[in-house]
């Protein structure tokens, strides 16, 4: 009995010793594997094995996968570069290129302009309507006036002011001039540009007071100086001469151009020279200065060449709406004058002047307006 118990204890102790030795050996292997020397030796052995092998090592990814990864990284780098430099210009060019295939319809532009919940749509729609040939419809002009006076978003108001400059009446000049004192720079700049196209002597004093304000933005003062070139008054002349002493060279050049239009003289950026001319000249200011509002012109780029089905047409400088000019007149102005003169029985006085100039081109347009004239004369 004792011998069996002893043999059992012996076997149990033997098993425990074997387990302890096994655990210690595994721990030793782990320690040896984690040692730097063993890592170096294993790496050296693998390097020698690869070097001595006649076959090249196998990569994890196929060549097609590696090419795809390279293209993906290249595209990511290009996108990052475009985001950092010139992203707005490139994106706008791509947008213009894509929209040239399917431009917004007139109904869609009108819906955008009348959208009360999306200011961006209102701005885009107003600009599209303003640049359209039919943007001068009375319903649209009423909307321009409403936005120019009550729009809370400065960009929407600026778009409406731009539209009034294109399609408004001379009476709209005073409405536009109210935005010269707006707290938003975009509205003031758009108002100054719109007043280059609308002629009303009543806004001249509002313009030159903003020109001599040195706290005004320089780009706004530049546009105001250009607009003042259509008002030959002593107050405007003195304000333009005062603008010659301002710090910005662009403001000085715009003032010189306006003074040249008002006087017909080219004295340059010489404040004393202009004051001397004003004091000594018999008639220093022209009664009817030749003023044309400026338009935007740029060089054609690659995008304009690609979109060959929609060629770029730049606007030509013209006379402001409301300015009386002797010579060739606009078709719209002729239609309005003829309608007024028909009611006053003054058609025979205009007939010799209008017929040689516009008969070959706008005779079908003016025919309905001038048709009742002979009947009125025969009645007398």
pLDDT by residue (tens digit) across 327-367? 444 444 444 554 454 444 333 333 333 333 333 333 333 33
Looking at residue 297, its pLDDT comes to 86
Q: Residue 373 has what pLDDT?
A: 38
Mean pLDDT of 195-224: 95
- What is the C-alpha separation between 319 and 292, in angstroms, rounded? 5
What integer best gives the mean pLDDT of the chain?
Answer: 75
- Across the range 166-186, mean pLDDT stands at 95
pLDDT value at position 20? Answer: 53
**SS3 string of 279-324?**
HHCCCCCCCCCCCCECCCCCCCCHHHHHCCCCCCCCCCCECCECCC
CA atoms within 13 A on the CB side of 65: 4
Mean pLDDT, residues 281-296: 87
pLDDT for res 326:
47
What is d(CA 187, CA 181) in angstroms, rounded to the nearest whole number? 9
Higher pLDDT, 35 or 317: 317
Over residues 58-95, the pLDDT tens digits come to 555 567 777 777 777 777 766 666 555 555 555 554 55
Least confident of 28-37, 94-103, 113-122, 292-301: 28-37
Beta bridge partners of 230: none
375 pLDDT higher than 80: no
Q: Is 50 within 8 Å of 57 (Cβ atoms)? A: yes
Instruction: Look at residue 308 in the predicted model and tell me its pLDDT.
Output: 79
Q: What is the pLDDT of residue 58?
A: 54
Mean pLDDT of 231-235: 94
Greater model confidence, 312 or 379: 312
pLDDT digits (tens, 9 = 90+) for 110-156: 999 999 889 999 999 999 999 988 899 999 999 999 999 999 999 99
Residue 327 to residue 333: CA distance in whole angstroms: 12
In 10 A of CB 16, how many CB atoms? Answer: 10
pLDDT value for 307: 76
pLDDT reported for residue 91: 53
Residue 316: predicted pLDDT: 87
Mean pLDDT lowest among 5-9, 257-261, 307-311, 370-374: 370-374
HEC letters along the chain: CHHHHHHHHHHHHHHHHHHHHHHHHHHHHHHHHHCHHHHHHHHHHHHHHHHHCCCCCCCCCCHHHHHHHHHHHHHHHHHHHHHHCCHHHHHHHHHHHHHCCCCCCHHHHHHHHCCCCCHHHHHHHHHHHHHCCCCCCHHHHHHHHHHHHHCCCHHHHHHHHHHHHHHCCCCHHHHHHHHHHCCCHHHHHHHHHHCCCECCHHHHHHHHHHHCCCCCCHHHHHHHHHHHHHCCCHHHHHHHHHHCCCCCHHHHHHHHHHHHHHHCCCCCCCHHHHHHHHHHCCCCCCCCCCCCECCCCCCCCHHHHHCCCCCCCCCCCECCECCCCCCCCCHHHHHHHHHHHHHCCCHHHHHHHHHHHHHHHHHHHHHHHHCHHHHHHHHC
| Confidence at residue 106, expressed as pLDDT on a 0 to 100 scale | 84
* CA–CA gap between residue 134 and residue 156 (Å, rounded): 20
From residue 143, alpha-carbon distances to 10, 216, 311 in Å are: 107, 29, 29
Calculate the dihedral angle through the C-alpha atoms of 294, 300, 306, 309, rounding to the nearest 10 degrees.
40
Q: What is the pLDDT of residue 9?
A: 47
Q: Which domains does the chain have, with CATH numbers?
A: 99-198 (1.25.10.10), 201-319 (no CATH), 327-372 (no CATH)
What's the pLDDT score for residue 60? 57
> What are the beta bridge partners of residue 198?
321
Instruction: Give percent of the chain above pLDDT 90.
Output: 45
Higher pLDDT, 96 or 230: 230
Output the pLDDT for position 211. Answer: 96
pLDDT of residue 273: 94
pTM score: 0.61
């Amino acid at each position: 009995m004792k011998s069996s118990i002893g043999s059992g204890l012996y076997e149990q102790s033997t098993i425990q010793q074997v387990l302890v030795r096994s655990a210690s050996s595994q721990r030793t292997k782990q320690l040896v594997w984690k040692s730097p020397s063993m890592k170096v030796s294993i790496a050296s052995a693998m390097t020698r094995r690869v070097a001595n092998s006649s076959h090249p090592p196998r990569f994890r990814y196929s060549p097609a996968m590696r090419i795809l990864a390279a293209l993906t990284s290249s595209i990511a780098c290009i996108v990052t570069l475009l985001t950092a430099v010139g992203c707005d210009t490139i994106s706008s060019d791509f947008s213009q290129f894509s929209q040239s295939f399917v431009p917004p319809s007139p109904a869609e532009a009108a819906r955008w302009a009348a959208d009360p919940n999306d200011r961006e749509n209102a701005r885009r729609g107003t600009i599209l309507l303003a640049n359209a040939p039919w943007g001068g419809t009375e319903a649209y002009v009423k909307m321009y006036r409403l936005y120019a006076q009550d729009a809370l978003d400065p960009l929407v108001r600026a778009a409406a002011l731009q539209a009034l400059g294109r399609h408004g009446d001379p009476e709209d000049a005073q409405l536009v001039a109210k935005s010269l004192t707006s707290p938003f720079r975009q509205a003031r700049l758009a108002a100054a540009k719109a007043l280059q196209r609308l002629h009303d002597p009543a806004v001249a004093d509002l313009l030159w007071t903003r020109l001599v304000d040195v706290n005004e933005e320089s780009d706004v003062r530049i546009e105001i100086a250009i607009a003042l070139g259509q008002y030959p008054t002593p107050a405007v002349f003195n304000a333009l001469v005062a603008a010659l002493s301002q710090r910005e060279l662009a403001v000085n050049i715009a003032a010189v151009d306006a003074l040249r239009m008002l006087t017909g003289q080219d004295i340059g950026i010489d404040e004393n020279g202009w004051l001397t001319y004003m004091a000594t000249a018999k008639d220093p200011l022209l009664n009817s200065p030749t003023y044309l509002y400026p338009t935007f012109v740029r060089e054609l780029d690659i995008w304009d060449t690609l979109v060959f089905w929609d060629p770029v047409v730049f606007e030509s400088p013209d006379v402001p709406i409301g300015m009386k000019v002797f010579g060739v007149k606009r078709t719209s102005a002729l239609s309005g004058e003829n309608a007024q003169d028909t009611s006053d029985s003054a058609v025979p006085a205009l007939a010799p002047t209008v017929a040689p100039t516009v008969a070959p081109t706008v005779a079908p347009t003016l025919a309905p307006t001038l048709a009742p004239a002979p009947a009125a004369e025969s009645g007398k």
